[in-house]
Amino acid sequence: MEFIVTEEKLQDIEADCEFILVVEGNLKHKWIKDLEVLETLSFEGKSEEVAYLPHLHRVYIGVSSFDRDEIRLALAVGYRAITKSKYKSIKIGSYLHNKLPTNIKAIVEGIKLQSYTFDRYKSEKIDKTIKTITISLEDYNEKQITLESAQKSIKEAIIICDATNEAKEVVNTVPDDMTPKILAKRAQDIANKLDDVECFIGDEEFLKDQKMGAFLAVSRASIHKPRFIHLTYKPKDAKAKFVFVGKGLTYDSGGLSLKPSEHMVSMKADKGGGAAVLSILKGAAELKVPFEIHAIIGACENMIGGDAFKPDDVLVAKNGKTIEVRNTDAEGRLVLADCLCYAGELEPDYLIDIATLTGACVVAVGEYTTGVMGHSSDLKHQIIKAASKSGELAGSLPFNRYLRKTIKSEVADMSNISSTRYGGAITAAMFLDNFVDEKLKDKWLHLDIAGPAYVSKNWGYNQVGASGAGVRMCLYWLKMCEHKLLISKKAS
């Protein structure tokens, strides 16, 4: 799929089909050529409303405003309306007034994210006919936007969406086709294609050398051996170091604290955090952000068997802290504990872990939203702002001293579950806090993506299954950090 931006007038562009956005109640815009038909259809231009006029090859789509997520949604709705058509090309004007570059991005993102399909296991592959989307810059002068800056926006949006769709592919792929070993190979292949990126893969022996007793315990019962995956993107003259850590449970059966069958379905998505950090690194390297980026994935399966770790075990993590296992289904925090210790040794400026960690987070904020936790209000605010720009939903969940006491253990330094059934997303994050180095407390963020990583219905421009949660918000955040850097450079 190719996106073209041109200064040509919309009417002079040749395309099989035209998309026209209509702001609610404003049907008098010069691009609206079929007012009568629209009135007959009672089309009002409400958000997500669509009027497809096949005989005229025009699709009218309502938007409540020209905010970016409205545009993304509109493009997705329009694309859905014509998915069964034989059209090969679409043209669209760039309405978008003072927010032109961001909104050009939104046009690309709406289509790119909507057009992803997961058909790996379908005998009949879905045929995507749309090949070209042309955006007209008619009406804008060089002061508002140049062709080059519009092209740059398109390029960035494509990178971000490709990274998101790559994460979806990893998460949607079934456990036997995405074992820790296969995931590691995929990471290596991605690294090989990128400039300034290196990939290290550690096996069980490496975990032993590193004294990662918690990670090892979770991995033990599976025939698929664990992998510690560490990718590094190191551009010349990097301005800061970001370390992303992802939970990469290629399957979570719950272990001996076995999940009930209905909760086990979709646990292939428990590698969502790992998939996200891999895609963030890929996107960041392609965007050539001026930061050193690390992606660390703890990849393993949580299974049952004679060798399985058990409730009552006491594990010793990499930093020497002991953990009483009271529930083997709270395994993600055990894998992350060791990975966070390793990540801390890299002395990052920012440490972000991403994980499908708790069902409690889904209960707390709903299935579409990422729970954001950490000590620094500023950092939480930054990521939530980035999420909002990117179109992802994120909300902060607060720590408190009373919940912290609930993960105490009688026999070890801490228990892997809380003694209260309330606030499970927060107590899981507080457990992780024990493995974040003292110096890094205010640099650490925990993103619980248990809800949005995998949703069993279509929502907005996301399809059934994986959504690539975490990828867009973190890439937007990195771009925001880069922007801040540029501004401070200019000021000095």
Please answer whether residues 484 and 390 qualify as being in contact, where contact means their C-beta atoms are separated by less than 8 angstroms. Answer: no
Q: Which of 358, 382, 406, 467 binds ligand BES (CB under 6 A)?
A: 358
Whether 80 is a known active-site residue: answer no
360 binds ligand BES (CB under 6 A): yes
Q: Which does 392 bind (CB under 5 to 8 A by kind): Zn ion, ligand BES, none?
A: none
Within residues 431-490, the interface with ligand BES by CB under 6 A covers 450
Contact region for ligand BES (CB under 6 A) — 2-10, 63-71, 89-97, 328-336? 328-336
In one-letter notation, the amino acid at residue 253 is: S
Q: Which does 327 bind (CB under 5 to 8 A by kind): ligand BES, Zn ion, none?
A: ligand BES
The residue (of 91 and 333) whose beta carbon lies closer to ligand BES is 333
Of 357, 248, 354, 257, which is closest to residue 301 (Cα–Cα)?
248
The residue (of 157 and 469) whose beta carbon lies closer to ligand BES is 469
270 binds Zn ion (CB under 5 A): yes
For residue 333, the minimal CB distance to ligand BES (Å) is: 8
Q: From CA 353, how far away is CA 359, in angstroms rounded?
A: 17
Please answer whether residues 71 and 114 qualify as being in contact, where contact means their C-beta atoms are separated by less than 8 angstroms. Answer: no
By CB under 6 A, how many residues form the interface with ligand BES? 16
Q: Select which of 80, 225, 259, 404 is catalytic.
A: 259
For residue 160, the minimal CB distance to ligand BES (Å) is: 24
Within residues 11-50, the interface with ligand BES by CB under 6 A covers none
Contact region for ligand BES (CB under 6 A) — 171-179, 208-216, 220-228, 322-330? 322-330
Of 29, 157, 38, which is closest to residue 93 (Cα–Cα)?
29
Tokens of 120: 């790996």
The residue (of 201 and 308) whose beta carbon lies closer to ligand BES is 308
353 binds Zn ion (CB under 5 A): no
Q: Which does 417 bind (CB under 5 to 8 A by kind): Zn ion, ligand BES, none?
A: ligand BES
Of 390, 420, 389, which is closest to residue 404 (Cα–Cα)?
420
Q: Which does 429 bind (CB under 5 to 8 A by kind): ligand BES, Zn ion, none?
A: none
User: Please, what is the Cα angle at 213 between 212 and 214, to 5 degrees?
Assistant: 95
The residue (of 169 and 252) whose beta carbon lies closer to Zn ion is 252
Contact region for ligand BES (CB under 6 A) — 140-148, 227-235, 355-363, 477-485? 355-363
Q: Which does 358 bind (CB under 5 to 8 A by kind): ligand BES, Zn ion, none?
A: ligand BES
> What is the distance, to the nearest Å, from the Cα of residue 86 to the centroid of all Cα atoms in its chain?
31
270 binds ligand BES (CB under 6 A): yes
The residue (of 8 and 367) whose beta carbon lies closer to ligand BES is 367
CB burial of residue 487 (10 Å; 0-12, 13-18, 19+): exposed
359 binds ligand BES (CB under 6 A): yes
Within residues 240-269, the interface with Zn ion by CB under 5 A covers 249, 252
The residue (of 252 and 482) whose beta carbon lies closer to Zn ion is 252
Please answer whether residues 408 and 414 qualify as being in contact, where contact means their C-beta atoms are separated by less than 8 angstroms. Answer: yes
For residue 38, the minimal CB distance to ligand BES (Å) is: 43
Q: Which of 292, 331, 353, 482 binds ligand BES (CB under 6 A)?
A: 331
409 binds ligand BES (CB under 6 A): no
332 binds ligand BES (CB under 6 A): yes
Q: Which of 156, 166, 286, 329 binds Zn ion (CB under 5 A)?
A: 329
Whether 120 is a known active-site residue: answer no
Cross-strand bridge partners of residue 23: 63
User: Locate tokens 């996301």: which residue?
Assistant: 462
Of 298, 383, 389, 453, which is closest to residue 72 (Cα–Cα)?
389
Which x/- pattern over 236-255 shows residues binding ligand BES (rule: CB under 6 A)? ----------------x---
Please answer whether residues 271 and 292 qualify as being in contact, where contact means their C-beta atoms are separated by less than 8 angstroms. Answer: no
384 binds ligand BES (CB under 6 A): no
By CB under 5 A, how many residues form the interface with Zn ion? 6
Residues that bind Zn ion (CB under 5 A): 249, 252, 270, 329, 331-332
- Enumerate the active-site residues: 259, 333
Residues that bind ligand BES (CB under 6 A): 252, 270, 327, 329-332, 356-360, 362, 417, 424, 450
